[in-house]
Amino acid sequence: MRIAGFLLLLSGWLLVVAALALLPAAGARVIFLLAGMGVELLGLALAFRSHLAPKEDRG
Amino acid sequence: MSETRIAIAIACLMIAPLAGAGLAVINAGLGRARNAAHSMMAALCVVSVAAGMYFICGRAFQGFSGGHSYVILAGGKPWDWIGAEPWFFRGVTTAEPLLAAWFGIIAAGLTGLIPVGAGAERWRLGAILASTALLAAITFPLFAHWSWGGGFLTQLGMNYALGRGYLDAGGSGPIHAVGGLTALAVTWIIGARRGKYSSEGMPMAIPGHNAVLVLSGCMLAFAGWLGLNSAGAVLFAHVEPGRVPLIALNTLLAASGSALTSALITKIRFSKPDASLTANGWVAGLVASSAGCAFIAPAEAVIIGLVAGALVPFTVELLDLRLEVDDPGGAISVHAVGGIWGMLAVGIFGRFEAGDAGQMLAQTVAVSTILGFVLPLTWLLNRGLDRVIGQRVRVDGEVQGMDLYELGAGAYPEFTTHTDDYR
């Protein structure tokens, strides 16, 4: 899950970069940019979730 | 570069190191007494290692606008990825590259100081220095190149008509967001302090040992920020020296608005204003002001500060209570969250000539880059380091205190030490 979170972060950024390089229309570019940010937020949430300490390690 | 600009930049760079001094003192005050000397020792060594690594290769990777760099063509447009200047400051002889290198070496040290606050009380000195070496040699110069060295983020305006490309005068992104996200990666890797969370996941409040140090550090940091923001704006955003007073006003107003908001929120929530959160609010205001200090009006600086100050108490609580991220110095809330807010604020409030409508998109691409590339990179580097040398101190070191365990002497040898409850 930890690695998946970081891969989602990276994928979101690549989506943003690809949108800039490949899409000429401003509207489509903005939509893909927002989609990329959404994927990144998902990855960030997963990264936080995966770093919660296991119960046996607490205390 | 005119002589006036050179003189202004030199004057500002003279006081900029006070920002690092302020952060070091704040970090020491927010930790427990048994770790205070270790915290200050780490700060001094971090600045030294960062300076060394930046001298060896950091400056070469950061480069400067118009200098040598590696460029690839994508979609018919040039994407400048990394600087390709000579190592060891070779060829840095004229005023502009010298001043940029001077700014860079201070900024690399400041970036390295940020994670020290988050990893306090359980991060080994050797690991801190190794992590700083990676930060000053790779992570910081890379994002600094993209922000200040003519990299692809600054090219967004020219290549894709996104405003003037990514703008960040004083370093909300390259210094603070990079440092803050490195702090997050480090806290994820080394985990929470012993006794911070109960078996049910409830956090224990572990107060800092010296509020006077923390609040004095805020004043030192403010003086340093005046230099940092002004020098960055003159060197990288190419603003006229006549705008330096505006930059100073914006910096002060953002910090003031932010500190008062944090104080007010903590007063409402806990019935008394919290000194450490107010101090963190002050620094968050400074952090958020950095990117846009040269492009906004004073009233907008106040709004940026108000938002930064409101973000601090809530994100500190979110990280501490819900996400179980143990950050004794508040580095993630102050520098990562405040820095990202500062980056976005340029797009919201920045005042530019007509035709700069895409500025918000350029700033968003920069935020996407820092979250989607810099955070995984810094996590990977620090995770690799942890595998090789182990970043966290042994249990007896944490119980004894880092001062005695790693340095062999406490910060306050004449004080009576009491046994605390957080063993």
* B419 part of a folded domain: no
Token output for B278: 């107010």
Residues B141 and B409 sit within 8 Å (Cβ to Cβ): no
C-beta separation of B314 from B191 below 8 A: no
> What is the pLDDT, as a whole number, of residue B226?
97
B207 in a structural domain: yes
What are the tokens at A58? 């607490």
pLDDT over 80 (residue B167): yes
Do residues B63 and B149 touch, judged by C-beta distance below 8 A? yes
Cα angle: B78, vertex A41, B201; to 5 degrees: 140
Q: Which amino acid is at B381?
A: L
Q: Which of B15, B38, B40 is CA-nearest to residue B26? A: B40
pLDDT tens column, B207-235 = 999 999 999 999 999 999 999 999 999 99
B423, part of any domain: no
* Eight-class DSSP state of A11: H
Is residue B219 in some structural domain?
Answer: yes
Our CA-based measurement puts residue A55 at a distance from the nearest CA of chain B, in whole angstroms, of: 6
- Number of compact structural domains in chain B: 1
Q: Is B9 domain-assigned?
A: no
A27: contact with B, CB 8 A cutoff: no
Please give the pLDDT value at position A52: 83
CA-to-CA distance for B317 and B325, rounded, in angstroms?
Answer: 10
A54 at B interface, C-beta within 8 A: no
In a domain, B274, yes or no: yes
Assess whether pLDDT exceeds 60 at residue B303: yes
Specify if B15 maps to a domain: no
CA separation for the pair A28, A23 (Å, rounded) = 7
Contact residues for B361 (Cβ-Cβ < 8 A; gap 6+):
A29, A30, A33, B156, B162, B163, B347
User: ipTM, 2 decimals?
Assistant: 0.94
> Which positions in chain A touch B188 (Cβ < 8 Å)?
47, 51
Question: Chain B within 8 Å of A48 (Cβ-Cβ)?
Answer: yes
Chain B CB within 8 Å of residue A33 CB: yes
Contact A47 B188 (CB under 8 A): yes
For A25-53, how does the pLDDT look when each residue is reduced to its tens digit (9 = 90+)? 889 999 999 999 999 999 999 999 998 86
Range of the domain at B386: 20-407
Banded model confidence at residue A54, pLDDT cuts 50, 70, 90: low
- For B237-292, the pLDDT digits (tens) are 999 999 999 999 999 999 999 999 999 999 999 999 999 999 999 999 999 999 99
| pLDDT at residue B415 in the model | 77
Report yes or no on B91 lying in a domain: yes
CATH number, domain of B254, equals: 1.10.3430.10
pLDDT score recorded for residue B92:
87
Please report the pLDDT score of residue B66 as a whole number. Answer: 86
One-letter amino acid at B135 equals L
Say whether B390 sits in a helix, a strand or coil: coil
